[in-house]
Structures are given as structure tokens and as C-alpha cells.
A = this chain, B = another copy of it.
Amino acid sequence: MSIAAVAQRAGVSPATVSRAFNAPQTVAPATRARIEAAAQFLAYTPNASAQTLRTRRTRSLGVLLPTLLNPVFAEYLSGVADAASSAGYSIVPVATDYVEARESDALVKLIARDVDGLLLTVANAQQSALLARLRRSGLPYVLTYNRHPEHPCVCVDGETAMRQLVSLAHAAGHRRIAMVSGQRNASDRAQQRHQGYLTAMHEFGLAPRLIEVPFMEALPSALTQPLGKADRPTALLCSNDLLAIRSLRAAAMAQLRVPEDVAVIGFDGIALGQELVTTLTTVAQPNRDIGLRGVQWLIDALSRHELPRPAHSITLPHQVRPGESFPLPHPMPSTPFPCHAESPL
């Protein structure tokens, strides 16, 4: 059903029908009523492509993210989807698996799809030629999870969080505190978390120990082996929850009790962590909110015909979520690493 059919049936011109939909107050109530009736009767739906061709707006957002197989990003995307949907936008997600080449491909495709704006989580915001191009393109975008002073970001302060964890572990009496990480340069988040670990360990005069785990293997020897040694770590700070879950299994394989023999903390706050036999103590990120806020910011910018400004980047608060894998003091010590949310809205 085209607008012309509605116009004819309502006895008005196509232009008036268009107005009745897009600027109802500019059309006389009586006329509007007739138009609405006609539209109803004909089950008229505006043709999105024609609107787009004319207005150059698609009301869709591209979402570039590493993977859907990590629940962190599934939770995030779920937030993105809800926020977009309730603002009348649809989303076009593309997973890139942390591969830079796929990030570029995806970007090109999304741009060709004429998305109105872009939400992206890239492997590494520092060395991403992508972002430079993107900024030059003039297409509105917001980075999520990534932190970078020259780009608009909705993120969490992973470095601070990690320092906080080291501090907690130290306060609990731990001295052999290891960090479990995937291939470290896989993402800038992992790097930041690692940096926080190193800094804090240094501050406490402790020797850092890095356990680097190939991401693909289910139960890598990289993980089981250090736990077999006499001077094994007593606390494992994991760069993400998936690694923490593997660490729990590695500990069990090594006949170690969690948390008595080895305490484990995760990072990300995936929902499943709370359902495990040993619930996961973890740094809970507001994954859904990261998505929500990103979308809101983007759409807000879109509506004012502006670009999201790097200076308005938001750092959302994280929180250490208690679990059985690492007992926390009660009450939590007043955190020496305050974390404020700054809102651009």
C-alpha cells in the first residue's frame, strides 16, 4: 500500500498524508481523521526504503562487537537491542572475533548499509586505523568497552578495578597473587587490566606472576601446571569470567579447594557466574547498561545532528560482586579507588 492509495481514499494529496504521519499537528483534525481511517483500512505501512532514499535516514544502528559467544557481549547486545528498539531503531550486529581485518570488513558493510550510527567494540582502540577512518567519515559512533581519550566511549575502568582486586587479595593475606589472562594483546581491555595488576603488585612490593592462557583450549596446561607447583599462587585474578570458570576447573583437577587452597576472582560479571557450584566472585560490569547508555548517547546525538564528543565519554561504575570463589571482608573496605559515573545526558 503506497501513500498515494491512502491519499486517494481520503480524498487528499499524497503530501497531506505524509504530513499527517510526520507532523500531525500541521494537518486539520478532520482531515487527519479521514487519513487515519483510510490508512487503517488499507493497512498502510510506510515504505522504509523510500523514506530512507528521501531523508537519508535508515533508523538503524550498526553494532560491531567481538563475539556473541562470550556472554558479556550477549548481555551487552541485549541492552543495545532493547534501547534501540524502544527508540524505534533496529540494529545490525556484526561479530568480528577480535580480528582487525574482519573489523574493517564489517565497518565497510555497515556503512554501505547506510546505518545512521555505529556502536563498536574493537580489539584495540589505540592502533585501530579503523577508528581514524571512521572519525573522518563523519558517521556518528560510540565506542563501548574501549577507552580512548580521542573517541567517544562508554566504558569501565578496568585498570582501577584490577588494582582494587590486588588490594583486596593483599588485605585477605594473599601474597602469591597471579593474574590469569588470555593472549594479552588480544584486546586493549585485557591490557588495561593487566596494567592495573602490575601497578598494584608493584605498589605492594609483590612479584607479579602472569599465567597466559591460549584462548581456544578448554583446559590448557598453562593453567593446570602452575597450580601443581609448591609455590603455587594462592589467589588467581582472572582477566575475564570465562577464564575464571576454567580456573575453577583447573583447581579442581589439581585437587585444590576453592577458595581455601586457591581463591579465584573473575572479571565481567556474567550472569552464569552466580549459578556455579562455587559462585564466582567477580568484578561486575554493567554490561546491559553499557549497551543502553551507548545507544542513548548515539541516538541523542543523532537527533541533534551532532557527533558524540570524546570529552563526554562515560566511565560507568563497576562493582566487586561477592561470591564463594573468593571470600570478601564484611563490610567491604571503603574502596580506595572511587569510581564515578559521568553522564553526558
Q: Could you say which residues of chain B place their CB within 8 Å of the CB of A109?
A: 85, 90
The answer on a CB contact under 8 Å between A69 and B249 is no
A253 (CB) vs chain B CBs: closest residue: B277
Spot the interface stretch: A20-28, A92-100, A309-317: A92-100
Q: Could you say which residues of chain B place their CB within 8 Å of the CB of A275?
A: 218-219, 242, 245-246, 249
Q: How large is the interface on A (under 10, 10 to 19, 20 to 34, 35 or more residues)?
A: 35 or more
Q: Mark A56-71, 1 if CB is under 8 A from B, else 0.
A: 0010100000011101
Q: Could you say which residues of chain B place their CB within 8 Å of the CB of A78?
A: 67-69, 95
A81 (CB) vs chain B CBs: closest residue: B95
Using A53-B47, A90-B109, A112-B45 as known contacts, say yes or no to A69 and B271 having CB atoms under 8 A apart. Answer: yes
Q: Could you say which residues of chain B place their CB within 8 Å of the CB of A221?
A: none
Q: Could you say which residues of chain B place their CB within 8 Å of the CB of A272?
A: 242, 245, 272
Main secondary structure of the interface of A (DSSP, over half): helix
Query: Beyond the given A60-B113, A90-B113, could you list 18 further A-B residue pairs with CB under 8 A, ordered by the A residue number?
Result: A46-B112, A49-B50, A50-B53, A53-B53, A68-B78, A69-B74, A69-B78, A71-B71, A81-B93, A85-B109, A90-B109, A91-B92, A218-B274, A218-B275, A245-B272, A245-B275, A249-B275, A276-B277
Supply 27 A–B pairs (Cβ within 8 Å), ascending by A: A47-B53, A48-B113, A49-B49, A49-B50, A49-B52, A49-B53, A60-B92, A60-B113, A68-B68, A68-B75, A69-B74, A69-B271, A74-B74, A78-B95, A81-B93, A81-B94, A85-B94, A90-B94, A90-B109, A242-B272, A242-B275, A245-B272, A245-B275, A246-B275, A248-B277, A249-B275, A277-B277
Interface residue ranges, A against B (CB under 8 Å): 45-50, 52-53, 58, 60, 67-69, 71, 74-75, 77-78, 81-82, 85, 90-95, 109, 111-114, 218-219, 242, 245-246, 248-249, 252, 271-272, 274-278
